Structure formats: structure tokens, C-alpha cells
Amino acid sequence: MTHAKPSIAVLGGTGHEGAGLAARWARAGYRVVIGSRDAARAAEAAGELARASGGDVTGASNAEAAAAGEIVVIAVPYAAQRALAREVRSEIEGKILIDVTVPLMPPKVARVQLPEGGSAVEALQRELGEGVRVVSAFQNVAAHQLSTLDEPVNCDVLVAGDDVDARETVCQLAKAIGITAWHAGPLANSAAAEALTSVLIAINKRYKVANGAGIRITGIPGQP
Amino acid sequence: MTHAKPSIAVLGGTGHEGAGLAARWARAGYRVVIGSRDAARAAEAAGELARASGGDVTGASNAEAAAAGEIVVIAVPYAAQRALAREVRSEIEGKILIDVTVPLMPPKVARVQLPEGGSAVEALQRELGEGVRVVSAFQNVAAHQLSTLDEPVNCDVLVAGDDVDARETVCQLAKAIGITAWHAGPLANSAAAEALTSVLIAINKRYKVANGAGIRITGIPGQP
């Protein structure tokens, strides 16, 4: 029996951003497996997400989740990103890997501090090699926006990647959960989204935004 | 006789982006002097902008314009930014310098290529030293949006700078020409706006946007 919709593994799916994406995709009818360093914790969180979303969410270790998902998402803190990618490298060969990582450097998370050499995701692609179809997306969507499942998300998504077909798949996955997504160019262009998150955090502080500021792209013919 | 509104010098004011800003400020009642390497060309362009805006626009060499403006704007191509700043260094001591520069690296202008060490504007601030109040703004507003004087601008402006009072002044200068502007954090956060321009160029190509895509910040209480 085949499914028309790909299964999605969300590594770091017990965190706020990962859990929010997992719940939205589960509600939209995707089979979701969330991964965590602690498989028992993943299973417990998966139960909660399944109840909240009314969808199909299971939990596993990160490596098991990566093996199970046809599409794999990394949604962990920056400090954990590269080690996790190395850990699951053999499980993600040939797959689309959606990297949600923002290179925040606590405590100054409202200050842009991009890594030397460009964006965090380019360093990830170099680490993994050409056999993984790395796409950058979702950096600017506040976790709070994702977690309120009955509310629309107030933020467009910039989708950057060197593999245009993979990018289109990720745009469709965003649209499937009601988020407007844009082809934002090559993987290098992820620097804009990665940097923008610190700007949005600065705006949240300055303007007392409780639910998370976001962005919209304007000026597209036929769009409101 | 004093004016309540500061005079504004736009260096590179014969270019599309600079001319658009100059015309908008002139129409809003600011005295504007545009600068160019060629003072005669600046004077000619100033005449056209004065007619188009119905405002007060004069032209001069870049150094003369920088000396005349209480607030100085740099709106030249990236390759010319640093040399121009050095040229007018003594004329801008103590002033607010609004840097509009985007570090585009032709021919790949739709690819983010931030300079090593962060943003172009941070390198400019290092070049000029602490005596100049450098603020980054307007990188994401398409020149076409500015030049159509009777139409609203479809793009918010991210204003980054280490001097919060200078930042606020620049926000007010944007609002004076009908543009929504946001305190975007320290000067380092200009990296987001600088990178975003290449993303918007990529979006313009992919989605056939003739008039220039832009951004809006969403989620701010009390904003639409």
C-alpha cells in the first residue's frame, strides 16, 4: 500500500518549532514521525501531538525517525545541528533534508551573527555532501504561530536550495499547512532568512509582540 | 532662518534608488541636494527631480552635497561605497549617514554574497570610525516603487544601527514619505536587509514581478 503523501520525519520534534511543524503536517494528513535523542520522550510527545492534531504522529530516536521519513526535517538548536546531521547521515542519503536551523548565538539572539563563510545551511550541505538534497525553510515562522493549530500562520516562508525540484516539494509542504512559500533562490540565499530571524526577535522585543512577528512578500501579481 | 526639517544630501542621487528617495523627500517638503561625481550631471538631474516632485532639489558634487546636508544618504553601487565614504569623511563628521548599499556582486545579483565579516555597512562604519552615526535602511525598496511618486510604496523598511536616536530619526524620515519603518536592531542586523535584496531579485525573476517585490512585517499589535 502506497501513500500519495510522503512521510515526514521531524528531528528535534520535541522542541517548540519542530512540534509545531509536526502537528500541522499531521493535521493535514501526513504521517509524521518525530525524533529525539530520547526515544521514550519522543514517543510521549508524539502521543500529545497526535491528540492535538487528530493525525498520525509517532516517536522514535533521531536515527530511527530519519530512517523512517521519506522527507527529513532538522529542527534543533544551532549548536546541535551538525552533530545530528553526521549521526543520521546514512539514513538520509538521497532524501530531501529540510533545515530549519537559525544560527542564533545566545545570549545575543536579537543580533545577527551569521557563521563565517555564509549561512549555517551551506555549512551543513558541505558537511553532508551532494548526496543529500538540502533545502532551507521555515526559519522565520515563530513556534507560537505553528502551535495555535486553528489559527492561520502570519508569516511567509522563504525556501532556498540548489535543487529546484526539492525546493518545489518544500514549497508544497508549506502550502499544505496553509503557509505561503516562495522560491528564494540558491542555498546561499538562506542567509537572508537566517539573519531575518534575529531581526524579528529584535522587533518582538522593541514592539512587544507576544505571538511572534513575521514577514510577507509583497508585490507579486495576483497576490493580495 | 531655521528649518524644522533637516536638509538631506543624497550622494549617488543621479542613480535610480537615490533619485527616487530624493524625489519623495522633496515632495514631502525636505530640502534635498543630490550629489554625483559630476556636479553638472547632478544639477541637471536635480532640475528634473524638482519638476517631478514640485519640491526643492539642487545638485552638486558629492563632497559639496555631503557638506550641505544635515543628514547624508549614500546610494551608490557597492563597488563605489567605501571610496565615496572616504572622499566625504570630513564633511560627514557627527552627522547621521544613511547607507542604502546592497553588497550585490554582478553578474550573480540574485545570489546572496555578503562580505566576509558580516554586512557591508559594518565595514563602512569601521572605515569611518565612531564619529559618524551610520544607519542602514531602504535596501529592500525597489527603485521603481520610489519613482512612481503618486503610488504608495509596497515595502517596509528595516532600519539597523547602533545609535538608537539616529535610528529613530531615520524611521521618521521613512514615515515622512509614507513608508513603514521598523527598528531592526544593531548595525550588524543590516545583514538581513542586505541579503534580502538578492532574495527579492530572485523572486522578481521567478515570479515575473515587474514593479519589484517587497516585504512587510506582520504580527505587530495594532497594525493591519
pLDDT of chain B along its 224 residues, tens only? Answer: 455 899 999 999 999 999 999 999 999 999 999 999 999 999 999 999 999 999 999 999 999 999 999 999 999 999 999 999 999 999 999 999 999 999 999 999 999 999 998 999 999 999 999 999 999 999 999 999 999 999 999 999 999 999 999 999 999 999 999 999 999 999 999 999 999 999 999 999 999 999 999 999 999 988 76
Task: Give chain A positions within 8 Å (CB) of B215.
Answer: 215-218
Taking the CA of residue A33 and the nearest CA in chain B, the distance in Å comes to 30
Neighbours of A203 (CB within 10 A): 25
On whether any CB of chain A is under 8 Å from the CB of B182, the answer is: yes
Q: Tell me, what's the pLDDT at B1? A: 47
Q: Which of residues 196-215 of A touch B (CB under 8 A)?
A: 196, 198-200, 202-203, 206-215
Classify B40 as helix, strand or coil. Answer: helix
Contact across the interface for A209 and B196, Cβ inside 8 Å: no
The length of chain A is 224
If you measure CA to CA, which chain B residue comes closest to A188? Answer: B112
Distance CA A1, CA A3 (A): 7
Sign of the torsion formed by the C-alpha atoms of A58, A59, A60 and A65 = positive
For residue B43, tell me if it sits in a domain. Answer: yes
Count how many pairs of residues, chain A against chain B, have C-beta atoms within 8 Å. 152
Strands B157-161 and B181-183: parallel
Distance CA B123, CA A18 (A): 36
Mean pLDDT for the stretch of residues A149-154: 94
Q: Tell me, what's the pLDDT at B4? A: 81
Task: Give chain B positions within 8 Å (CB) of A159.
Answer: none
Classify A183 as helix, strand or coil. Answer: strand
pLDDT in tens, B67-120: 999 999 999 999 999 999 999 999 999 999 999 999 999 999 999 999 998 999
Contact across the interface for B203 and A217, Cβ inside 8 Å: yes
Q: Tell me, what's the pLDDT at A223? A: 76
Contact call for residues A206 and B213 (beta carbons, < 8 A): no
Q: Which of residues 125-164 of A touch B (CB under 8 A)?
A: 142, 145, 154-155, 158, 160
Mean pLDDT for the stretch of residues A55-83: 98
Classify A173 as helix, strand or coil. Answer: helix
Contact across the interface for B112 and A216, Cβ inside 8 Å: no
Q: Tell me, what's the pLDDT at B109? A: 97
Task: Give chain A positions within 8 Å (CB) of B221.
Answer: 207-210
Please name the residues in contact with B91: beta carbons below 8 A apart, sequence gap of 6 or more.
B63, B66, B67, B72
Taking the CA of residue B223 and the nearest CA in chain A, the distance in Å comes to 11
Q: What DSSP character marks residue B207?
A: T
Q: Which of B110, B118, B184 sits opposite A185 (nearest CB)?
A: B110
pTM of the shown model:
0.96
Percent of chain A scored above 90 by pLDDT? 96
Which of B109, B141, B179, B218 to mutate to probe the A interface, most A CBs <10 Å? Answer: B218
Contact call for residues A216 and A155 (beta carbons, < 8 A): yes
For residue A87, tell me if it sits in a domain. Answer: yes
Please name the residues in contact with A175: beta carbons below 8 A apart, sequence gap of 6 or more.
A181
Q: Tell me, what's the pLDDT at A7? A: 98
Q: Tell me, what's the pLDDT at B3? A: 54
For residue B220, tell me if it sits in a domain. Answer: no
Classify B115 as helix, strand or coil. Answer: coil
Task: Give chain B positions within 8 Å (CB) of A210.
Answer: 221
Task: Give chain A positions within 8 Å (CB) of B187.
Answer: none
For residue B28, tell me if it sits in a domain. Answer: yes
Classify A6 as helix, strand or coil. Answer: coil
Q: Tell me, what's the pLDDT at A195? A: 98
For residue B49, tell me if it sits in a domain. Answer: yes
Contact across the interface for A203 and B182, Cβ inside 8 Å: yes
Nearest C-alpha neighbor of A201 from the set A138, A141, A137: A141
The domain of B150 spans 8-207
Three-state SS letters, B131-190? CCEEEECCCCCCHHHHHCCCCCCCCCEEEEECCHHHHHHHHHHHHCCCCCEEECCCHHHH
Contact call for residues A187 and A117 (beta carbons, < 8 A): no
Q: Which of B111, B208, B216 sits opposite A218 (nearest CB)?
A: B216
Q: Which of residues 96-115 of B touch A (CB under 8 A)?
A: 110-114
Distance CA A91, CA B193 (A): 36
Task: Give chain A positions within 8 Å (CB) of B158.
Answer: 199
For residue B221, tell me if it sits in a domain. Answer: no
CATH of the domain at B132: 3.40.50.720
Task: Give chain B positions within 8 Å (CB) of A118.
Answer: 112, 114
Nearest C-alpha neighbor of A20 from the set A209, A180, A181, A151: A151
Distance CA A208, CA A206 (A): 6
Q: Check pLDDT > 90 for residue A1.
A: no
Neighbours of A4 (CB within 10 A): 5
Total number of domains in chain A: 1
For residue B120, tell me if it sits in a domain. Answer: yes
Task: Tell me the DSSP string of A106-145.
Answer: TT-TTS--PPTTS-HHHHHHHHH-TTSEEEE--TTS-HHH
Residues of A90-111 as b/e, b for ≥16 C-beta within 10 angstroms?
ebbeebbbbbbbbbbeeeeebb
Distance CA B55, CA B10 (A): 15
For residue B127, tell me if it sits in a domain. Answer: yes
Confidence class for position A3, pLDDT limits 50, 70, 90: low
